[in-house]
A and B are shown apart, each in its own frame.
Chain A
Amino acid sequence: MNWLGLRTAALLGAILGAILGGVAYSAALARGWDAPYLVGIAMGFGVMLASPDRSGMRGLLIAAGAVWAAAIVQTRVGPHASAGLFGFHATLTPSRTASFAGCALVAFVLARTSARRNASVRAAGS
């Protein structure tokens, strides 16, 4: 499987990153530190390490996934847990919007690339 550069290994890297990032964000929220970008960093790194090629489309997908993963975490832990996913938008203050934008940005920048030297850009249709 290699839709949008998301090979099976990269998908597993993203899932592992989401779990580790989610645990780290939960721990941070429990201590009053709202840091959704931890999920973006973990997912981005997971994909970057597992991917043999580079793909901007994959970066966008992982960025969207990181925002969703972080939003799901904050429905379980922290001061906005009662808002749920449907009330997520109402919890977005300017600083929280910036934090979630940072989460998406760092996930995109890391996930679009590869840790391997001379990794090729994924060709459309491959």
Chain B
Amino acid sequence: MSAINTALACAAFFFVADLVYAIDHYLVHHDRERYRVTHGRHHRRYNGKKDAAQLDAYELSTYGSAAIMTIAITSVLSLTTGNPGFLLGAVLKFAHTLLFHWYQHRWWGEVPLRQQHLDAPKRSWLMASARYHAFHHSHPDDRIFTYAESWAGFDRILELLHPWLVRFTVDRAAHVRTVQGARVQAVSRGRLGQ
């Protein structure tokens, strides 16, 4: 029973951490200033020719910081509940993030990623593959969301929630303007048609 509890706590934390990663990834893609200063660097790097290590200092700092935070919080959860599964889940998530990125960076080579013309992934509800994530690097703002690291279903849910969720992002004004602009254009086209 205790092993089952540990496994359940581990899986539950892994799932929650992956959800938080997916939401934060969505948010940083809807915050131009934060994207420019932080995450955009990651995309710029992988869209050029390979000229450096797989993970640079910024990436290690980002993944390391997330790991330190989750390990700190889950260690207290494990201490106070007596269930080591929470801490194990955080460690596993960190290992998964590192391995996932190392693996998917194999698309990073002499030919820049965009010139490899990767096909757009299907709108899957299954696991997010490394290729799914590689496509995200070359097409960061594609209409098919590819923010998830483990379960692609998070992206499908984000796509469904996007019209409502975007209002809570930093770039909400730009998105609302875009939607309103599209409406105005549609109305104008309708009038011209009449």
Contact = CB atoms under 8 A, between A and B. Distances in A.
Contacts of B82: 86-90
A20 interface: no
A121 interface: no
Interface residues of A, number: 23
B76 interface: yes
A45 interface: no
Contacts of A64: 72-73, 75-76
Contacts of A57: 65, 69
Query: How many residues of B sit at the interface, in one of the four size bands?
Result: 10 to 19
Contacts of B102: none
A108 B68 CA distance: 16
Interface stretch (A46-54, A65-73, A110-118): A65-73
Contact of A67 (B37, B62, B76): B76
Nearest to B74: A64
B76 A3 contact: no
A125 B38 contact: yes
Contacts of B61: 3, 125
Contacts of A125: 37-38, 58, 61-62
Interface of B: 34, 37-38, 58, 61-62, 64-65, 68-69, 72-73, 75-76, 79-82
